[in-house]
Amino acid sequence: MANPNITETSFRPAHMDPAANEKISRPSLSFGKDVMRRLINNKGALIGAIIIALLILMAIIGPHMNKYGIDDQDLTRANMPPKIGVLSNIHWLPFDGVDKNGIDQYKAKNVKGNFWMGTDNFGRDQWTRIWSGTRISLFIALVAALIDLIIGVSYGGISAYYGGRVDNIMQRIIEVIMGIPNLVVIILAIIVLKPGIASIIIAMVLTGWTSMARIVRGQVLKLKNAEYVLASRTLGASNSRLITKHLIPNTMGQIIITTMFTIPNAIFFEAFLSFIGLGIKAPNASLGSLINDGFAAMQSFPFQVLYPSIIICILLISFNMLGDGFRDAFDPKQRR
C-alpha cells in the first residue's frame, strides 16, 4: 500500500559527477608494496627481521665493546664464569661470576674486571669471541648466498631462456651434480683446499647454486610463454630488454625466498663443518668453532658452549621466520 506522505517531490535526482566516478578511492598497490604490507603484518617475520638487524649490529660493534681483543690470551684468567657488573648481585641469574660449585672465581683467582660471557680455556674473552664469531658466520653465509644467487640465476636463466639443446645439456649436468651428496663434496673440497673462510665458501657454493638454478629455470620457462612477454617481443623488444624488464622482476619473488633459506642453511653448514674440525682455524672463531671448543669442556664449564649455541639458534630461528614470512608474502596461497 502506498504511503500518502511520500510524494514525488520527496525525491531528488542524485548528484552525478563524471570525474568522481573515475576517482581511485584507495592508493594503488604495486606488487612490491603489497608484499611489504603482508610482510610487516606477519608478526613472526617482523620479529625475525628485527632480531637479525640487532644481531648484525652486535656482530659489528660487539667485539669493540670491551677492552679485550679476540686473541688476548692470559692463563691466569682461564675458564672464568660470566659476570656482568650490574647483574652480579642477582644470584639466580648466571652472571654473578660464581662457578657451578658455588665459588666466586673472580675472588678466588683475584681477577680484576668482568667477563660478560666468561672466558675460554686460554683466558680469551668469550663476549669478544662470540660476536666476532657471529660476524664470521654471517659473512660466510651472506657471501655464499650471494654467489649462489649470481651463478644460479645466470645458469637457470640462460638454460631456460635459450631452451632446446642448450637447456638439455645444462640440465643433464645439473642432474648429475644434484645426485652427488653435497656433504661429501663439501668435506672433500675443504680437505683439499685446507680449512678457512674462503674454502668454506667455495665448498658450499660448489653444490649450493643448483637449487637456485632449478627454481629460476622453472620460473623463466613459465614466464617465457606468457602473453605479455610475447606481446613485448612482437613489439620488437630485444633479448636483453625482455630479460631485464620482464623475466628478472617476475622471478624476483622466488629468488628472494630461495636466498632467505640459503642463508640459514649456510650458517648451519659452516657451524657443522667447524664442529667436525673442518672449519675456521684459531685464533679466528666462528659460532661453530666456539661451540666445538666449548663442547670439549661442557661438563666443567657449560657456559662456554651455552652462549654461542643460544646465539646461533636465535640467528637460525630468526632467518627461518623471516624466510617463512617472505614466502607467505610473495605467495599467500602457498602457506605452509
Partner 1 sequence: MIRYTFERLCYMVVTFFVIVTLTFLSMQLLPGTPYRNAAKMTKEQIAVLNETYGLNQPVPIQFVKYITNMFHGNLGYSFQYDGRSVTQILSEKFPISIELGIEAIIIGVVIGLLLGIIAGIKRNTIWDYTSMIIAVLGISIPSFIFAALLQYWFAVKYQIFPVAYWDGPINRILPAFSLSTIVIATVGRFMRTEMVEVLQSDYITTAEAKGLTTMQVIFKHSIRNALIPVITILGPLFVNIITGSLVIEKIFAIPGIGEQFVTSIYTNDYPMIMGTTIIYSSMFIFIVFIVDVLYGVIDPRIRLAGGK
Question: Torsion-angle region of residue 113: left (phi > 0), alpha (psi -120 to 50) or beta?
Answer: left
Q: Tell me: does residue 298 bind partner 1 (CB under 8 A).
A: yes
Given the complex with partner 1, which of 122 and 275 has the nearer CB atom? 275
Contact 255, 213 (CB under 8 A): no
**Of 103 and 183, which CB lies nearer to partner 1 in the complex structure?**
183
Category of 82 on φ-ψ map: left (φ > 0), alpha (ψ -120 to 50) or beta? beta
Q: Does 175 bind partner 1 (CB under 8 A)?
A: yes
**Alpha-carbon distance 222 to 97, whole Å?**
61
DSSP-based three-state secondary structure for 96: strand
Closest CA to 292 of 315, 272, 317, 312: 272
Residue 305 interacts with partner 1 (CB under 8 A): yes or no: yes
Q: Which of 191, 198, 226, 230 binds partner 1 (CB under 8 A)?
A: 191
Measured CA to CA, the distance from residue 250 to residue 248 in angstroms comes to 5
Site map 116..155 versus partner 1, x via CB under 8 A: ----------------------------------------
For the bound state, the minimum distance from the C-beta of residue 165 to partner 1, rounded and expressed in Å, comes to 14
181 lies in the site for partner 1, by CB under 8 A: yes
Give the residue, chosen from 66, 154, 284, 320, that forms a contact with partner 1 under the rule CB under 8 A: 320
Q: Are 105 and 98 in contact (CB under 8 A)?
A: yes
Other Cβ atoms closer than 10 A to 191: 12
In this complex, which beta carbon is closest to partner 1, that of residue 131 or of residue 319?
319
Q: Is residue 309 a contact residue for partner 1 (CB under 8 A)? A: yes
To partner 1, the closest distance from the beta carbon of 180 in angstroms equals 5
Least distance between partner 1 and beta carbon 279 (Å): 12
Applying CB under 8 A, which part among 63-71, 108-116, 188-196, 243-251 lies near partner 1?
188-196
* Distance in angstroms (rounded) separating the CA atoms of residues 45 and 321: 5
Q: Are 270 and 279 in contact (CB under 8 A)?
A: yes
- In angstroms, the CA 117 to CA 108 distance is 18
Sign of CA dihedral 163, 211, 199, 284: positive
Instruction: Considering only the stretches 79-87, 89-97, 105-113, 304-312, report the one whose residues sit in contact with partner 1 under the rule CB under 8 A.
Output: 304-312
Strand positions, DSSP E, the chain: none
55 binds partner 1 (CB under 8 A): no
Interface residues toward partner 1, by CB under 8 A: 171, 175-176, 179-181, 183-185, 187-189, 191-192, 194, 264, 268, 271-272, 275-278, 291, 295, 298-299, 302, 305, 309, 312-313, 316-317, 319-321, 324, 335-336
